[in-house]
Amino acid sequence: MNLTRQRAEEVFDKVLKYSTADETEATVSSTSYALTRFANNAIHQNVAEESSSLSIRLVSEGRMARASTNKFDEASIRQLCENALMLTRLQPPEPLLLPMPGPQTYRSLNRFFNETAQLTPQTRAETVAQVVERAEKDGLTAAGVFSNGASAYGIFNSRGMKAYHEETMSEFSVTMMSDSSSGWAKRTAPYWMELEPQELAERAAQKALGSRDPREVVPGRYTVILEPAAMLDLLGFMIFDFSGLAVHEQRSCLTGRVGQKVFGENINFRDDAFHPLQTGAPFDGEGIPRQRVPIVEKGEVKNLVYSRQTAHKLGMQPTGHGFPLPNEYAEAPLNIVMDGDRSSVDDMIKSIDRGMLVTRFWYIREVDPYKKILTGMTRDGTFWIEDGQVKQGVRNLRFNQSLVDMLGQVEMMSPPQRTAGEESFEMVVPAAKIRDFNFASTTKY
């Protein structure tokens, strides 16, 4: 279904027609998604999918329930409303539940590009063929994904809220492999021409070629350069710590530290859904307008983010970071922008006597949620630096590192860029030179 604003409002009108609850909210969404996957220098999968969903939340006599369907005919919507109302009767009363919000004003965001939505399988296949040609030039094996899609969704309620957003998204990721090494690169963007697949393929190829026959390095504390993807996947483990409810319930590593200097003087980041390199809607899961929130300034934890419910409970103002109700997470900043500096990765390399360059991490797990100690492994391009030059590849290492400590040890940063990883959502972050990064052990590959 092509979900225009008009079509979404027509679906909601049907919901209101059959809902007899005290309050009614509906989220109407549609997604189209296409993907070309390749491995062993050949395309092996090409798929396309379209889906639509209607999710309603009803409140009746202080009780709340949610139900969903992918059928939009009147009979199905009527049955959905009846089922949701029946579910409310089975729920306990929620005395702290707030009335649904009324009409809101949203800032316009243009994140829909027809060129991305209409990207054809042939164009994806031709692009993959060029990437495979680059791999075969140096005897490498390429694998990866090229995808594109479009989504639209609206949040409406019986108090007059009407929120609607549409956007497109594309992704290209590639891994180049030799007999003893690998290299990786990835990018996502609403406008697919910004992906630059050939540039990504060249980057991945150079990493694979440069890290062939890796040497083993003794574990220990080293100065490292973390490329943006490595920074992103670590920072993703701290996002829920900036939830107002998590701090209030003492589930956050920042409990008792708001207003204090926790990180280095050069660490600044904010949540900013309106940054030109960000994506997403200008409203949260309840339809509340998103706000720019300065989270960390000069190492000090300045602000948290709040859903309506958390803000009301703690005497704060909602910041537009709530999730759809009901949920167990309350809120989180999902549009992270971290300030950087003017140094290039080459500048950082030249400044290091002995250290390492890390392309990305994987298999990251949390060891201590309060000290924010993480463990994981390097992957797809880990290099030894000596006397200001990249000398050779090294075998991957496992790290055991406090993220809080790490953000107090940042010595240099590049300009921030839109970054995609594999273990967190996209952010705008820099590469960083970090001292005393703790590698706990080596791996066998």
Q: Give pLDDT tens digits for 102-118.
A: 999 999 999 999 999 99
Residue linked to tokens 């492999």: 177
The CB-side HSE value for 105 (13 A sphere, CA atoms) comes to 0
Helix, strand, coil share (%) of the chain residues, nearest 5: 25, 40, 35
pTM: 0.95
DSSP assignment letter at 263? S
Among 213, 211, 198, 212, residue whose Cα is nearest residue 144: 198
Neighbours of 342 (CB within 10 A): 9
Residue range 141-155: mean pLDDT, rounded: 97
Closest C-alpha among 296, 157, 276, 165 to residue 235: 296
User: In 3-state terms, what secondary structure has residue 194?
Assistant: helix
pLDDT digits 0-9 by tens, 367-398: 999 999 999 999 999 999 999 999 999 999 99
CA gap 249, 252 in Å, rounded: 8
pLDDT (tens digit per residue) in 25-69: 999 999 999 999 999 999 999 999 999 999 999 999 999 999 999
Question: Phi, psi (5° rounding) for residue 396?
Answer: -65, 150
pLDDT of residue 327: 93
Report the Cα 125 to chain-centroid distance in Å. 27
pLDDT tens for each residue of 400-444: 999 999 999 999 999 999 999 999 999 999 999 999 999 999 987
Burial classification of residue 6, based on how many CB atoms lie within 10 Å of its CB (0-12 exposed, 13-18 middle, 19 or more buried): exposed
- Phi then psi for 338, rounded to 5 degrees? -105, 130
Give the pLDDT confidence score for residue 323 in this predicted structure: 97
Backbone angles phi, psi at 334, to 5 degrees: -115, 5
For a pLDDT cut of 70, what percent of the chain falls above it? Answer: 100
1 pLDDT band (50/70/90 cuts)? low
- Enumerate residues 6+ apart whose C-beta is below 8 A from 86: none
Count of residues for the chain?
A: 445
Q: For the chain, first and last CA: distance in Å?
A: 47
DSSP for 265-321, please give it. Answer: TT--EEE-TTSTT--S-SB-TTSPBP--EEEEETTEE---B--HHHHHHHT----S-
- Euclidean distance between CA atoms 326 and 257, whole angstroms: 28
- Contact of 182 with 205, CB cutoff 8 Å: no
Tens digit of pLDDT for each residue in 196-227?
A: 999 999 999 999 999 999 999 999 999 999 99
- Residue 7, classed as helix, strand or coil, is helix
Domains of the chain from N-terminus onward: 5-124+144-170 (3.30.2290.10), 214-239+249-280+333-445 (no CATH)
| pLDDT score of 89 more than 70 | yes
Contact assessment for residue 224 and residue 397, using Cβ atoms and an 8 Å cutoff: no
Check whether the bond before 121 is cis (ω within 30° of 0): no
Residue 238 pLDDT level (bands cut at 50, 70, 90): very high
Phi, psi dihedral angles at 26 (to 5 degrees): -135, 135
CB 25 within 8 Å of CB 16: no
Element (H, E) at 144: strand 141-157
Q: What residue type is 360 in one-letter code? A: R
Side-chain half-sphere of 29: how many Cα atoms within 13 Å? 16
Predicted confidence (pLDDT) at residue 249 exceeds the cutoff of 70: yes
Mean pLDDT of all residues belonging to the chain? 97
pLDDT digits 0-9 by tens, 352-361: 999 999 999 9
Residues 162-190 pLDDT 10s: 999 999 999 999 999 999 999 999 999 99
Confidence band of 445 (pLDDT split at 50, 70, 90): confident
| Residue pLDDT, tens place only, 296-328 | 999 999 999 999 999 999 999 999 999 999 999
